[in-house]
Amino acid sequence: MPSFDFSSKVDLQTLDNAINTVKKEITNRFDFKGSHVVIELNKKDFKVNLEADSEMKIDQIVDVMLSRSMKQGLAAEIYDITKEHYQSGKVVKKEVPVKNGIKQEDAKKIVKLIKDSGLKVQAAIMDDVIRITGKKIDDLQDVIQASKSWNIGIALQTVNMKS
């Protein structure tokens, strides 16, 4: 029976390249000359730590980080930018977690969307991957097309396609 998996993995090397590109661009920008700026990727915890002189500069760093990541092939949804920045002495800090893997509640939402679509496929949650199986490969392709219109806040990749 044909099947494929939905996953939400972030390639650590691509993420590291994107963050290094952001560092280079920010240090070369005129409006950041002489400013205190720290951009660090915590590879173990999948978090990006940002420090700057003001909230406005933090917001500019986040904008550059999103655009550079998208140019590297990473989806903008991998960053959880909902956390607010906070004051720490003279600098403003912000911690941006990177979403890696599908959480259980998100997986349940995806399975519900698949079942509500009315397509003749089965969805099974397997750790941080969702396996979709069906009798016809056309049904699986319909699920992939439908997934592009879902607004669930995570970047989905289709992997492990078997016919």
Distance CA 60, CA 26 (A): 9
What mean pLDDT is predicted for residues 132-156? Answer: 87
Same fold, 3-8+101-162 and 12-97: yes
Q: What is the DSSP letter of 154?
A: S
User: pLDDT, tens digit, for every residue of 89-127?
Assistant: 889 999 999 998 888 988 899 999 888 888 889 999 988
Whether 83 shows a pLDDT value over 90: the answer reads no
Strand pairing report for 47-52 and 38-42: antiparallel
pLDDT at 163 over 90: no
Report the alpha-carbon angle 98-103-107, nearest 5: 130
Retrieve residue 9's tokens: 């993995």
Give the model confidence (pLDDT) of 19-78 as tens digits. 999 999 999 999 888 889 999 999 999 999 999 999 999 999 999 999 999 999 998 889
Give the alpha-carbon dihedral of 40, 44, 45, 51, to 10 degrees.
-10
Query: How many Cα neighbours within 13 Å face the side chain of 162?
Result: 9
pLDDT at 64: 94
Kindly state which CATH superfamily the domain 12-97 is placed in: YajQ-like, domain 2 (3.30.70.990)
Q: Which fold is adopted by the domain 3-8+101-162?
A: Alpha-Beta Plaits (3.30.70)
Closest among 72, 63, 9 to 32, alpha carbons compared: 63
**Domain range summary for the chain, segments of one domain joined by +:** 3-8+101-162, 12-97
Q: pLDDT-derived band of residue 151, with 50, 70 and 90 as boundaries?
A: confident
Tell me which of 15 and 163 has the higher pLDDT: 15
Report d(CA 74, CA 119) in Å as an integer. 29
